[in-house]
């Protein structure tokens, strides 16, 4: 029996949750799970709260059998997982801010998303929030030693990027400690989705992180479909696969140029920027929106693809196929550029594993996890593709993973375009499995976005509403690694490392 199966068997199964098993366990099992996490037998994939209970989403170390453990905590306290397993620390801080549940013996009790500016505390505590907590200056972690100075950057940065604060402690040019402070773009998304109609909640999920709008919409849609027992028609899966891979392609193209640009190699950005723009224009022709926002919906896809759209997609794939190899050679043979990327911002494989870091951050450090393969969903079950993995863990490796994933996405898109299924692109709700009273039905889904795995869990309420939902961005398990990988680097390498991670602020802050 796998570790997750063993833990699930020791609790009371909640049959309403699909397709992952969920069990209500006691504090003994909860603590045991934390121990398994600490010794690497389990991977943490989510930790979130509701009034009076806390949930822990886990996957076995071999990427199999995901499961959710729930601990009732009527007194508002639960045993800290972060105390044993560092990747849970910020999630527990967020739970304390948002729901008001306190992790006992937590190693870090500072607020995280709550900057004491909301006018209330614990917005999801069930009664619409508590009185605001006392405002207090944020204490950054200490760094001690001779001749140290601090550099404070943000929340408003110098470029066109999202807001966040970075506190560097440096000795001369050398970074001794970096600590990020996030939460600036916390929009209260989950609270707005609670009680909202499914359509509105889906639109909110589509706006969790704009660069991953397809991935979030897909995760949300699959969670709703799992809760309702609805199966979208084949053409819906086909369209979703196309959109998901075009989103990955567009983002990777943008990133490859942006990373090189931060190493002062502007030429690459100029050329990948052209390819990215062509991809976005083709997506606008094919799906009616450059970023494909609101195109993936519960039950299927909101738009079908007509012959003109398919032709635009085919043309742009051909264009990228023609132009991209030259750019790869350009990177591969420009040693002055590699001088900046090779060996810079190294993330040790053990750390990537411990944090369950997804996407190119994990894969550049030897972690092969890819949701499309580990927990496969359609249309990927019917397609052939590789998941590139490297071991070096540096900026160069994160770039190469993106380069290789561009090729894989092109392959996937070509396979899809070669074999279009016919029929409707959306399930008829009347023909769906569970259109009766869906109140209490729960669904959970993990989707491979360009940045890594996006988790959505939700419970439906009455009258086609969402009772509660939780969205977990891959960045939660990547931001802390960025802080580690710049230790001992020079301050000037931070922008390069940061870009090579390209973590989401909006998806993290929600």
Partner 1 sequence: MPMFTVLLESLTGGPLTEPAAPLDDARLAALATRLDAAARRRLGRSLALRHVDAGSCNGCELEIHALSNAFYDLERFGLRFVASPRHADVLFVTGAVTRNMREALERTYNATPSPKWVVAVGDCAFDGGFFAGGYACAGGVDAAVPVDLHIRGCPPDPAALLEGLLALMESSASP
CB nearer ligand SF4, residue 207 or residue 314: 207
Query: Rounded to an integer, what distance in angstroms lies between the CA atom of residue 111 and that of residue 399?
Result: 34
Neighbours of 193 (CB within 10 A): 27
Q: CA-based angle 163:169:171, to the nearest 5?
A: 140
Contact with partner 1 (CB under 8 A) among 200, 314, 373, 378? 200
**Residues recorded for the chain:** 510
Angle, to 10 degrees, between the axis of helix 307-332 and the axis of helix 395-418? 150
Give the one residue of 170, 227, 280, 427 binding partner 1; rule: CB under 8 A. Answer: 280
317 binds, among partner 1, ligand SF4, none (CB under 5 to 8 A by kind): none
- The secondary structure of 245-282, three-state, reads HHHHHHHHHHHHHHHHHHCCCHHHHHHHHHHHHHHHHH
Judged by beta carbon, residue 59 or residue 293, the one nearer ligand SF4 is 293
Instruction: Tell me which residue has tokens 């900026």.
Output: 395
Q: Hey, what are 411's tokens? A: 């392959």
Q: Which is nearer to partner 1, 373 or 465 (CB)?
A: 465
What's the closest the beta carbon of residue 268 comes to partner 1, in angstroms? 9
Interface stretch with partner 1, choices 168-176, 199-207, 406-414, 484-492 (CB under 8 A)? 199-207
Considering only residues 316 through 345, tell me which ones interact with partner 1, judged by CB under 8 A.
326-327, 329-330, 332-334
CB of 263 to partner 1, least distance (A): 14
Q: How many residues bind partner 1 (CB under 8 A)?
A: 58
Task: State yes or no: residue 273 binds partner 1 (CB under 8 A).
Answer: yes
Q: How far is the CB of 163 from ligand SF4 (least distance, A)?
A: 12
**Binding residue for ligand SF4, selected from 210, 421, 434, 464, defined by CB under 6 A:** 210
Site for partner 1 contains 208 (CB under 8 A): yes
- What is the residue whose two structure tokens read 């822990």? 56
CA distances from 206 to 293, 300, 333, 510 (A): 6, 14, 39, 11
123 interacts with, out of ligand SF4, partner 1, none, CB within 5 to 8 A per kind: partner 1
- Which of 53, 110, 290, 378 binds partner 1 (CB under 8 A)? It is 290
155 to 194, contacts with partner 1 by CB under 8 A? Answer: 155-156, 158-163, 183-189, 191-192
Q: Which is nearer to partner 1, 211 or 225 (CB)?
A: 211
CB of 355 to partner 1, least distance (A): 22
* Size of the residue set binding ligand SF4 (CB under 6 A): 2
- CA angle 60/61/64 to nearest 5° reads 45
**R_g (Cα) of the chain, nearest Å:** 22
Residue (160 or 418) nearer to partner 1, CB? 160
| Closest residue to ligand SF4 using C-beta atoms | 207
Q: Is position 291 an interface residue for partner 1 (rule: CB under 8 A)? A: yes
* Footprint of partner 1 on 375-404 (CB under 8 A): none
495/166 Cα distance (integer angstroms): 11
Report the candidate in 245, 277, 243, 271 with the shortest Cα–Cα distance to residue 256.
271
Nearer to ligand SF4, 181 or 207 (CB): 207
State phi, psi for 498 to the nearest 5 degrees. Answer: -60, -45
- As a whole number of angstroms, the distance between CA 472 and CA 493 comes to 28
- Residue 163 CA to residue 505 CA, distance in Å, equals 7
207 binds ligand SF4 (CB under 6 A): yes
Nearer to partner 1, 156 or 431 (CB): 156
Residues 77-91 as b or e (16 or more Cβ within 10 Å = b): ebbbbbbbbbbbbbb
Question: What CA–CA distance (Å, rounded) separates 111 from 132?
Answer: 12
Q: Choose between 70 and 217: whose C-beta lies nearer to ligand SF4.
A: 217
Q: In 3D, which of 414, 396, 117, 499 has the Cα closest to residue 404?
A: 396
Nearer to ligand SF4, 98 or 205 (CB): 205
Of 65-73, 84-92, 287-295, 338-346: span binding partner 1 (CB under 8 A): 287-295
281 binds partner 1 (CB under 8 A): yes
What span, in angstroms and rounded, lies between the C-alpha atoms of 271 and 319? 12
**Which residues contribute to the site for partner 1 (CB under 8 A)?**
115, 117-120, 123, 129, 155-156, 158-163, 183-189, 191-192, 200, 203-204, 207-211, 213, 254, 267, 270-271, 273-274, 276-278, 280-281, 284, 290-291, 293, 326-327, 329-330, 332-334, 504-506
**Which residues contribute to the site for ligand SF4 (CB under 6 A)?**
207, 210
């Amino acid at each position: 029996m796998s570790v997750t199966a063993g833990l699930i068997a020791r609790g009371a199964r909640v049959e309403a949750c699909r397709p992952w098993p969920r069990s209500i366990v006691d504090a003994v099992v909860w603590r045991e799970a934390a121990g398994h996490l600490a010794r690497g037998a389990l991977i943490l994939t989510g930790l979130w709260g509701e009034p009076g209970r806390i949930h822990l989403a886990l996957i076995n170390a071999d990427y199999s059998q995901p499961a959710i453990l729930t601990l009732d905590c009527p007194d508002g306290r639960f045993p800290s997982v972060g105390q044993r397993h560092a990747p849970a620390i910020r999630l527990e801080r967020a739970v304390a801010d948002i729901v008001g549940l306190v992790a006992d013996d937590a190693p870090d009790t500072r607020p995280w998303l709550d900057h004491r500016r909301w006018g209330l505390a614990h917005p999801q505590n069930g009664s619409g929030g508590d009185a605001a907590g006392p405002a207090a200056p944020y204490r950054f972690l200490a760094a001690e030693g001779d001749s140290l100075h601090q550099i404070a950057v943000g929340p408003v940065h110098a470029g066109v990027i999202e807001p966040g604060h970075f506190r560097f402690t440096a000795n001369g040019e050398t970074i001794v400690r970096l600590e990020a402070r996030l939460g600036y773009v916390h929009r209260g998304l989950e609270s707005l989705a609670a009680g909202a109609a499914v359509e509105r909640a889906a639109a909110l999920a589509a706006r969790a992180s704009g660069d991953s709008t397809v991935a979030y919409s897909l995760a949300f849609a699959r969670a709703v479909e799992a809760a309702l027992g609805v199966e979208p028609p084949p053409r819906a899966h086909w369209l979703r696969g196309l959109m998901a891979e075009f989103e990955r392609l567009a983002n990777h193209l943008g990133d490859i140029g942006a990373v090189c640009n931060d190493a002062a190699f502007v030429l690459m950005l100029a050329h990948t920027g052209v390819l990215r723009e062509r991809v976005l224009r083709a997506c606008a022709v094919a799906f009616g929106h450059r970023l494909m926002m609101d195109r993936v919906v519960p039950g299927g896809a909101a738009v079908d693809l007509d012959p003109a759209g398919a032709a635009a997609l085919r043309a742009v794939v051909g264009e990228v196929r023609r132009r991209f190899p030259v750019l790869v050679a350009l990177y591969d043979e420009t040693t002055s550029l590699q001088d900046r990327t090779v060996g810079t911002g190294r993330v040790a494989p053990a750390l990537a594993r411990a944090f369950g870091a997804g996407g190119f951050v994990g894969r550049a450090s030897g972690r092969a996890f890819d949701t499309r393969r580990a927990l496969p969903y359609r249309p990927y079950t019917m397609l052939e593709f590789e998941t590139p993995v490297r071991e070096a863990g540096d900026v160069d490796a994160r770039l190469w993973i993106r380069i290789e994933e561009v090729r894989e996405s092109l392959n996937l898109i070509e396979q899809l375009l070669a074999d279009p299924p016919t029929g409707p692109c959306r399930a008829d709700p009347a023909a769906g499995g569970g259109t009766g009273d869906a109140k209490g039905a729960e669904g959970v889904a993990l989707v491979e976005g360009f940045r890594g795995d996006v988790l959505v869990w939700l419970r439906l309420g009455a009258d086609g509403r969402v009772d509660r939902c939780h969205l977990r961005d891959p960045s939660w398990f990547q931001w802390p690694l960025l802080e580690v990988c710049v230790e001992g680097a020079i301050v000037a390498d931070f922008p390069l490392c940061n870009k090579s991670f390209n973590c989401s602020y909006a998806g993290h802050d929600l």
